[in-house]
Structure 1
Amino acid sequence: MKKDARYSCYPFMREKASTVDFEIRTDSLTAHIGMALTAVKKEEVEVVAQDLSTILPMAYHVNGSVRGKLAVTEEDLAWLSARYDFYVSYVKIEIQSFVLPQGTEAATALHVCRSEAKKSYRILHKVSDEKEVPTILFDYLGLLANVFFVMAVYMNKQAGIAEIPFVSKSYPMKKKKENK
């Protein structure tokens, strides 16, 4: 009897290799980027919406680049790096300390994307224990997490919402010396 496709949500679901975990995690990342894009469009910050529209399909390219053909290029990485620099030029002061993931709906959605990108990076590390993984995928996901962070802070700044610094009780920070 032929198996009915309606009962299969993903053809590789029963694999033991970490590759399928990576693919599921990056699928989640992509879905969260789509959700963030919707929130950004509601807040009408066009530059972030345009960038997320470019990043959205790239997340699926990252997804397929482990099992399939590498679909992330040096040009893609350079573009993402330039976008990071763009946002940092606006939020350099606000990102000097660790901040709480709060603010506008779009900013908080972007913080979730940041977290999802980090989870994807971590699963990619597990995959690399099992098979060769192109370095550019690690670079892209690490940079992507940082881009989502500066985008989130940028969204809050556009809305006039101040970042709330987080001071850890677990990891004491060195105090800056004041000039007298």
Structure 2
Amino acid sequence: MKKDMRFSCYPFMREKSCLVDYEIRTDSLTTRIGSVFPKLEGEEVQVIVDDLKVIHPMAYHINGSVRGKLAVTEEDLQFLSDRYDFYLQHVGEQFNRFVLPQGVEAAVRLHICRSEAKKSFRALHKVSEEREVPEILFNYLGLLANVFFLMTLYVNKVSSQPEIEFVSKSYPIKKRKEEVK
């Protein structure tokens, strides 16, 4: 009997390799990025729309770059690094605080993307215990998570939504040099 593809949501689902988990995780990341677009309205957030138009397909490129041909280049990593610098310049000191994932809906969705990027990084680490993984994929995913965080701060800032700082009861807070004096 011929296999009926209607019962197969992904051809590699029954593999034992962690690679499948990574591919599913990056598929989720790609989906979450797509969910941000409808919540980005207005001229002040057009820069994020433009950046996500580049980042969105890259999430699928990082997906296929282990099983298939490496599709992430140094230029892709440089683009992301430049965007990191751009958002950092606009949010300034806010970046030095740990904040609760909240705010306007676009920011919350970007926080979810940040979390998905971190989960993808972790899944990629598990893959690297089974096979060789190009370091650029780790660099891209780590930077991507940080860019998403900066985007959340940017969206909340231009939306006049204050950040809520989180102060951990579990970890000691390191005093800044200015505070110690």
- Alpha-carbon distance change, 10 to 96 in structure 1, aligned in 2, over 3 angstroms: same
- Alpha-carbon distance change, 86 to 44 in structure 1, aligned in 2, over 3 angstroms: closer
By how many angstroms is 1:38 displaced? 2.1
Counterpart amino acid of residue 157 in structure 2? K
Q: How does 1:1-180 map to 2 (within 5 A)?
A: 1-41=1-41, 45-176=45-176, 177-178=178-179
Counterpart amino acid of residue 144 in structure 2? L
In the alignment, the residues of structure 1 paired with residue 165 and residue 43 of structure 2 have an alpha-carbon distance, to the nearest angstrom, of 23
TM normalised by structure 2 equals 0.96
- Gaps (5+ residues) in structure 1? none
- Alpha-carbon distance change, 175 to 68 in structure 1, aligned in 2, over 3 angstroms: same
By how many angstroms is 1:110 displaced? 0.2
In the alignment, the residues of structure 2 paired with residue 22 and residue 109 of structure 1 have an alpha-carbon distance, to the nearest angstrom, of 21
Q: Are 1:37 and 1:53, in contact at CA under 8 Å, matched by a contact in 2?
A: no
Counterpart amino acid of residue 102 in structure 1? Q
In the alignment, the residues of structure 1 paired with residue 69 and residue 145 of structure 2 have an alpha-carbon distance, to the nearest angstrom, of 23
By how many angstroms is 1:174 displaced? 2.2
In the alignment, the residues of structure 2 paired with residue 50 and residue 112 of structure 1 have an alpha-carbon distance, to the nearest angstrom, of 19
In the alignment, the residues of structure 1 paired with residue 153 and residue 81 of structure 2 have an alpha-carbon distance, to the nearest angstrom, of 17
In the alignment, the residues of structure 1 paired with residue 23 and residue 7 of structure 2 have an alpha-carbon distance, to the nearest angstrom, of 19
- Aligned pair count reads 180
Q: Secondary structure at the match of 2:36?
A: helix
Identical positions, percent:
67
By how many angstroms is 1:175 displaced? 3.0
Q: Secondary structure at the match of 1:99?
A: coil
In the alignment, the residues of structure 2 paired with residue 171 and residue 179 of structure 1 have an alpha-carbon distance, to the nearest angstrom, of 18
CA distances 1:53-87 after superposition (whole Å, capped 9, x unpaired): 11000000000000000000000000000000000
TM normalised by structure 1 equals 0.96
Counterpart amino acid of residue 59 in structure 1? A
Counterpart amino acid of residue 51 in structure 1? D
In the alignment, the residues of structure 2 paired with residue 136 and residue 126 of structure 1 have an alpha-carbon distance, to the nearest angstrom, of 16
CA distances 1:35-66 after superposition (whole Å, capped 9, x unpaired): 01222247861000010111000000000000
- Gaps (5+ residues) in structure 2? none
